[in-house]
Amino acid sequence: MAKPILLVTRKLPEAIEAEAARLFDARLNSADDPWFRDGAAIARRAADCGAQGILCAAGDPMGEATVAALPDTVKAIATFSVGTDHVAVAAARARGITVSNTPEVLSFATAECAMTLMLMAARRAGEGERMVRAGQWEGWAPTQLMGVTLEGKKLGILGFGRIGRELAAMARGFRMEIHYRDIQKLPAELEQGATFHDSDDGFLAAIDVLSMHVPGGAGTAKWLNAERLAKMKPGALVVNTGRGPSVDDAALAAALASGHIRAAGLDVYDGEPKVFPGYLDLPNVALLPHLGSATIETRHAMGMRALENLEAVLLKGSPAPHEVR
Ligand code: DGY
């Protein structure tokens, strides 16, 4: 029996491409040719090859127009990401297309990235690194690049899902006190002593560091705006490894410029790969290029999970283990 045809939009780790080719008649994009940036081109390629599955990735334009343009042959879209804000899930479902993602396997890596940014912001690591590289370091000095410690600080986690809880576990090692804001209070075994806040105001006023882990979408658009920033303690830190659109960039840049927010660390951006220009000249913001899940181990696990989802739908005729509803 002929293998189902799988259109892969992005270059994937070698072992994942090999596994995709073993399971499917895989149409790879090993050169990372940028056609994946254009939804119409994705749909056209899917039609040209008669794809039954599409393996796409975070940021690919799989919105309503793309889903509407897909050929009827497509039965599964597996995204190589936990986030699904780039996929029109309801529109796909309405066309009988199963959408799946890659949860769990990237929680630790993304929490590591948040911890990295938290430390960079607290300890001015970006500023120090730039100073050394620019040949401007003149030697140790008692007042040079003094940051703040995380020890004893109150970490406020917005979105206490798997990634937020991994971060909480790491931050306890730094003797931080964990607070969280979520839709509802979690059971004690998941809270592990963390303090739940049922209002934004109480949460923001209580914490020294805000780490954002919300998935994007209309419900959290520009959540961190001027009004909420003003409710944070002077000198607080902000970290975002969730999705860029949940921050009002102009408001955060203004709070960083005034010093009300001491420092920030960002891994995700509204409209990425574009970065709000107001951040670029601010010394007190660490900027990473959406590295959250970028470890060799995690990207391999994400690829295997995406293939597992496709294998279920296209080869076994069973539900995707990580179907998004
Ligand atoms: C995701 O998986 O949604 C990330 O943002 C990319 O790792």
Q: Which of 293, 296, 299 has the most ligand 1 atoms within 8 A of CB, as the residue to mutate?
A: 293
Q: In CATH, what is the architecture of 5-105+296-314?
A: 3-Layer(aba) Sandwich (3.40)
* Tokens 């993304």, located at residue: 110
Q: Find, among 77, 74, 71, the residue nearest to 55 by Cα.
A: 77
138 CA distance to ligand 1 centroid (A)? 40
259 CA distance to ligand 1 centroid (A)? 30
Would you say the CB of residue 83 lies under 6 angstroms from ligand 1?
Answer: yes
pLDDT confidence of residue 216: 86
Q: Are strands 53-57 and 76-80 parallel, antiparallel or unpaired?
A: parallel
Nearest CA to ligand 1 atom 6: 81
The string of pLDDT tens digits covering residues 198-245 is 999 999 999 999 999 999 888 999 999 999 999 999 999 999 999 999
71-82 burial: b if 16+ Cβ within 10 Å, else e:
eeebbbbbbbbb
| 151, two tokens | 């020890």
Rounded Cα gap, residues 207 and 235, in angstroms: 11
- Tally DSSP H helices, then E strands, for the chain: 13, 12
Rounded Cα gap, residues 36 and 66, in angstroms: 11
Rounded Cα gap, residues 51 and 70, in angstroms: 9
| 38, two tokens | 């254009």
Atom index in ligand 1 nearest the CA of residue 268 equals: 5
User: How open is the CA angle 198-201-202, to the nearest 5 degrees?
Assistant: 60
Which residues are known to be catalytic? 243, 272, 290
Would you say the CB of residue 113 lies under 6 angstroms from ligand 1?
Answer: no
58 CA distance to ligand 1 centroid (A)? 6
CATH H superfamily, domain 107-287: NAD(P)-binding Rossmann-like Domain (3.40.50.720)
pLDDT confidence of residue 276: 98
pLDDT confidence of residue 110: 98
272 CA distance to ligand 1 centroid (A)? 13
Q: Which of 84, 106, 297 has the most ligand 1 atoms within 8 A of CB, as the residue to mutate?
A: 106
Nearest CA to ligand 1 atom 7: 293
Residue type, 72: D
What residues does CATH 3.40.50.720 cover in the chain? 5-105+296-314, 107-287
Rounded Cα gap, residues 127 and 167, in angstroms: 24
Rounded Cα gap, residues 288 and 295, in angstroms: 14
Rounded Cα gap, residues 79 and 56, in angstroms: 5
268 CA distance to ligand 1 centroid (A)? 10
For 239, residues 6+ apart whose C-beta sits below 8 A from its C-beta are 114, 117, 118, 121, 209, 210, 211, 212, 264, 265, 266
pLDDT confidence of residue 217: 87
Residues in the chain with pLDDT values less than 50:
none
| 101, two tokens | 């993602």
45-69 burial: b if 16+ Cβ within 10 Å, else e:
bbbeeebbbbbbbbbbbbeeebbee
Specify whether the CB–CB gap between 3 and 21 falls below 8 A: no
Q: Which of 100, 110, 246 has the most ligand 1 atoms within 8 A of CB, as the residue to mutate?
A: 110
Nearest CA to ligand 1 atom 3: 83
For 204, residues 6+ apart whose C-beta sits below 8 A from its C-beta are 156, 210, 228, 231, 232
Model's pTM, two decimal places?
0.96
pLDDT confidence of residue 1: 81
Rounded Cα gap, residues 232 and 247, in angstroms: 14
